[in-house]
Structure 1
């Protein structure tokens, strides 16, 4: 992308954090490499994978502007922050190793930032792809009206949200709030968004499909649903908001999956016994 004066557009940094996701990573890499926007860099932070991740990264070295490291980290948040520290771009996005961008996505994002200098965040529609069924499923979408009125409460309770897979940040808002909180897992991005909102961040929604989010049993928020739900509860409490009852129940359901089976097994006979006693009374 070159403007009328022959100048390149702003540098875009795409950060991918991964751990033993070699079977998904190549698709993410190809989606970045295949963009029709040249002034970008792809930073991959690998947490010391023992699958074929490193081999894949070496395969693509020199084919496009790729930089990567492979070393153990404390958690995913620390890995995100490592990538953020390495990033040199004016515009920054995070692409998980099991997600990918659609063709032309980066160019649309850059154009939106250039046309709206007061905007700090830009994102668009995101669609879910189920790796088990091999089908494209839910399309996550919203409206600019909804996003313009988004509040801290909306973010914490999930009433309204940004779609992380298609979300890009202007560096100035990151400079205002600092890196992700390394003590928070699973909902570290929500905490980041809350802090950005508190600093007056403005968001722009593009009514176009930009990214695909991969859904599979190994994905962190699926595999560790109890911990992810607990992290959401802790974040709500940290900001001084009451935790919804449904969220507490959800946590118990994930933490103790045997509870529903217990009720299914023992409640019907109990009710049946009570019913027989009442009929005889």
Structure 2
């Protein structure tokens, strides 16, 4: 590892004119200076492009504007042109704390066995006021396993992730057919490499906008089970069944009376031993009568 390895940061932007400047500046104003910033606008219809171009005249970074092709396409394009030894991602409505990169690079130097790390993050509102924190009840530990990620015991805030570039060279980029591209990627990485979580709060995730629509929730449910099915022949059957149970719990909790549930709710004796599954299934079963 070089003394000050280059870190490539990819910011995909889509209609975030209100927040994009704060997002970009949070990268450019990092304490760690060896950073390559790549901003890719994915067909914004607001003033995002104008604001980015104006900021680019003041500060040095790479900017690409393209027709809308989706988040995974943007991330893969950024990875393909990134020159850094490490790669990070930041949504255009989120932002980093000034010590984010320096702390993570220091961790990589001390723990070279890990190829991906992530951290805790604050949850903020439209005005950047702190309203919560990721993993507040579940302190992040080192050596986060595939099993923990798959079972939802560890949530990885994408805006806090830093990945060794060689990982993408070996396992490929994000699946452009998915709308939950990050969970799929973290599973793939954790299946082949060691992942570490550090307890430091290094970024701010912005929670804003309206509630997710039923159609969107249904699409997310389909995607989760599609991702799970990729692993059916690759992981222990008991683990597969536990993941399936947890996804069914999430689906029943989110969708309630949606017709989509009929396709995915498959009760078994083992699943019924889980009290939350049993309670939600009884509620779901009553609605089917």
The residue that corresponds to 2:277 in the other structure is: none
Cα deviation for residue 138 of structure 1 reads 2.1
Distance 1:38 1:47, change over 3 A: same
Question: What is the alpha-carbon distance in structure 2 between the residues aligned to residue 162 and residue 94 of structure 1?
Answer: 12
Where does residue 206 of structure 1 map in the other structure? 198
C-alpha displacement of 1:162: 2.1
Structure 1 residues 159 and 144, CA gap change in structure 2 (3 angstroms): closer
Match of 2:92 among 97, 104, 117: 97
- 2:30, 2:100 within 8 Å by CA — same for their partners in 1? yes
Would you say the 8 A contact 1:73–1:79 is kept in 2?
Answer: no
Gapped regions of structure 1 (runs ≥ 5): 257-266, 268-281
Q: Distance in 1 between matches of 2:46 and 2:257?
A: 29
Q: CA deviation at 1:238?
A: 3.0
What is the distance in 1 between the residues matched to 2:88 and 2:218? 27
Instruction: Summarize the Cα distance change of 1:218–1:33 in structure 2 as closer, same or farther, 3 Å threshold.
Output: farther
Which residue of the other structure, out of 167, 174, 179, is the alignment partner of 2:161?
A: 167
- Quick check: 2:120–2:140 contact (8 Å CA) kept in 1? no
What's the counterpart of residue 274 of structure 1?
none
* Corresponding position of 1:261: none
SS of the residue 1:197 aligns to: helix
Alignment partner, residue 222 of structure 2: 230
Find the counterpart in structure 1 of residue 252 from structure 2.
249
Q: C-alpha displacement at 1:220, in angstroms? A: 7.5
CA distance in 2, matches of 1:120, 1:221: 36
Distance 1:157 1:13, change over 3 A: same
Aligned length: 247
Please identify runs of 4+ aligned residues in structure 1 that moved more than 4 A.
142-145, 218-223
TM-score by length of 1: 0.79
CA deviation map 1:102-124 (0-9, x unaligned): 01111111111122222111221
Structure 1 pair 11–219 and aligned structure 2 pair: CA distance change class (3 A): farther
1:53 aligns with 2:48: yes
The normalised TM-score by structure 2 is 0.77
> Which position in structure 2 is the counterpart of 1:275?
none
Structure label with greater radius of gyration: 1
